[in-house]
């Protein structure tokens, strides 16, 4: 560890390879978050055995309540992180997250589950801006895309553990559905303790000589980047909205769709859905590494992935059997949201003002995650009205195409302006 003297005689610094510790920390964080996010949808029938029969729209609203709280905190938490620091926002936030999850375990009405889900979402809403602003500050620029992909890979691992874990524990072992919820809450308590010891506050680290001068130069340079609502960023926000809509519609309702319309039963439901996550990690690592090598081609990589996801979601509805459906899901994992996430995050952070990094990333995630509030409930409503989830999947695919076209138009115009200048 490299240490430097502080004015009061104490010595402090960032640990050696601190950025690697951060990458591990936030990868683990996404894993635990996604265990919670993915574990409820496979066990909706068992939950209803406790709280009474509910409509599909009412069950979908559980996820929407979580994402409502999560989304509502994106911009405020980004502002708080920029002002007070990541550690001071994350620890109380995840304490609220854990409290919300534990309250779900003891709920006996749908209203109590909704309340716990909102609390969980509010607490988790402190994560995104904190995690990616820290990694953006400390990860070397030439490794930003790949390391972001490693952080995001925790989402895939958590999805696998949440989906297969809840299906196995509840449907195969016959344990109460609350078991997985309690396990998730305990993992969140552990995560709070980990944040306490792993994250170093900048105020505890001595400023290097000349840092003030360098900081002033950076601020002057960053002022030229303009508003967080300029066109190039707004199109990224909208594209992320469409990307998240399709993804969270799939994560929330694919288990029900497979069971009701494809005849897949029991623990196989979680196993088939988790195929998305199996190829998500290598896909994310490959395309993130590609975007690091070809930094001027990030927009093209993003467009390719979005169009691929549009095609795969549309094609999945025509899959004649479970094997074909599984292959499509594996391809979606390799080319879908989890693959495009690190490239998009890197693309946005490249354009963001460093002094407002968490606010910009929080705004980006706010627009993306606002779709996750709508998608579960709206898809449930579509199923109630049509008797099938097919039209919900078609809607997700169409939105992806609109987002990709909008992003392409904005970037084409940006390149023309650059050439003209």
Three-state SS string over 44-100 comes to HHHHHHHHCCCCHHHHHHHHHHHHHHHHHCHHHHHHHHHHHCHHHHHHHHHHHHHHH
d(CA 169, CA 179): 8
SS3 192: helix
Classify the C-alpha dihedral 199-202-208-210 as positive or negative.
positive
**Contact by Cβ (8 Å): 78, 360:** yes
Distance CA 66, CA 164 (A): 21
State the pLDDT at residue 126. Answer: 94
Q: Can you give the pLDDT at residue 201?
A: 80
Q: What are phi and psi of 4, to 5 degrees?
A: -140, 150
Using alpha carbons, list the distances in angstroms from residue 14 to 65, 218, 293, 294, 360. Answer: 38, 21, 28, 30, 25
* Tokens 């979005």, residue located: 306
Phi first, then psi: give them for residue 210, nearest 5 degrees. 85, 0
pLDDT (tens place) for every residue of the chain, 421 residues total: 444 444 444 345 777 788 899 999 999 999 999 999 888 888 888 888 888 888 877 887 888 899 889 989 988 998 898 888 889 999 999 999 999 999 999 998 999 999 999 999 999 999 988 998 898 888 887 788 888 889 988 988 898 899 888 888 888 888 898 999 999 999 999 999 999 999 988 766 655 444 444 444 444 444 445 677 888 889 999 999 999 999 888 877 887 787 777 777 666 676 777 777 778 888 888 998 888 888 788 889 999 999 999 999 888 888 777 778 888 888 998 998 888 988 998 888 887 777 788 888 889 989 988 887 788 878 888 988 888 888 988 999 999 999 999 998 887 656 555 554 4
Going from N- to C-terminal start, the domains of the chain cover 16-202+226-420
Q: Say if CB 291 and CB 298 are below 8 A apart.
A: yes
Phi-psi region for residue 265, left (φ > 0), alpha (ψ -120 to 50) or beta?
A: beta
Buried (b) or exposed (e) across 384-410, using 16+ Cβ within 10 A? eeeeebbebbebbbebbbebbebbbeb
Q: Taking the model in full, what pTM does it have?
A: 0.75
d(CA 238, CA 236): 5
Q: Cβ(270)–Cβ(397) under 8 Å?
A: no
Assign 11 to helix, strand or coil.
strand
Q: What is the CATH number of domain 16-202+226-420?
A: 1.20.1250.20
- Any idea what DSSP says for residue 166? H
Q: Looking at residue 181, what is its pLDDT?
A: 92
Q: Give the pLDDT confidence score for residue 390 in this predicted structure.
A: 87
Per-residue pLDDT at 416: 56
Return the pLDDT at 216.
Answer: 42
Residue among 268, 213, 242 nearest 401 (CA):
242
């Amino acid at each position: 560890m490299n240490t430097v003297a502080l004015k009061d005689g104490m010595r402090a610094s960032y640990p050696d390879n601190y950025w690697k510790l951060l990458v591990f920390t936030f990868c683990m964080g996404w894993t635990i978050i996604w265990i919670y996010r993915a574990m409820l949808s496979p066990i909706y029938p068992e939950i209803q055995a406790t709280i009474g029969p509910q409509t599909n729209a009412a069950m979908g609203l559980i996820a929407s309540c979580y994402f409502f709280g999560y989304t509502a905190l994106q911009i405020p938490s980004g502002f708080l992180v920029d002002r007070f620091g990541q550690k001071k926002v994350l620890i109380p936030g995840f304490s609220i997250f854990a409290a919300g999850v534990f309250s779900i375990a003891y709920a006996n009405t749908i209203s109590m589950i909704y309340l716990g889900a909102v609390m969980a979402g509010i607490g988790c809403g402190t994560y995104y801006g904190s995690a990616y602003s820290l990694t953006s500050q400390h990860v070397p620029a030439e490794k930003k895309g790949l390391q972001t992909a490693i952080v995001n890979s925790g989402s895939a691992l958590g999805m696998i553990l949440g989906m297969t874990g809840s299906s196995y524990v509840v449907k195969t072992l016959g344990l109460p559905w609350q078991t997985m919820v309690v396990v998730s809450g305990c993992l969140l308590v552990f995560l709070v303790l980990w944040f306490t010891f792993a994250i170093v506050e900048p105020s505890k680290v001595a400023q290097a000589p000349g840092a003030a001068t360098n900081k002033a130069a950076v601020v002057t340079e960053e002022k030229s980047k303009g508003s967080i609502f300029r066109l190039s960023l707004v199109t990224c926000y909208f594209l992320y909205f469409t990307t998240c809509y399709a993804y969270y519609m799939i994560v929330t309702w694919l288990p029900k769709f497979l069971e009701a319309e494809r005849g897949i039963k029991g623990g196989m439901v979680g196993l088939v859905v988790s195929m998305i996550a199996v190829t998500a990690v290598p896909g994310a690592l490959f395309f993130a590494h590609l975007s690091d090598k070809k930094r001027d081609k990030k927009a093209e990589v993003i467009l390719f992935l979005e169009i691929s996801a549009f095609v795969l979601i549309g094609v999945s509805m025509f899959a004649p059997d479970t094997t074909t459906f599984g292959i499509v899901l594996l391809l979606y994992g390799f080319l879908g949201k989890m693959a495009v996430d690190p490239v998009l995050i890197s693309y946005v952070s490249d354009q963001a003002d460093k002094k407002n990094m968490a606010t910009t990333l929080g705004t980006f995630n706010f627009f993306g995650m606002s779709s996750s509030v709508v998608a579960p409930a709206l898809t449930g409503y579509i199923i109630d009205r049509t008797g099938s989830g097919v039209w919900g999947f078609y809607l997700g695919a169409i939105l992806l195409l609109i987002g990709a076209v909008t992003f392409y138009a904005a970037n084409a115009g940006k390149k023309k302006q650059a050439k003209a200048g």
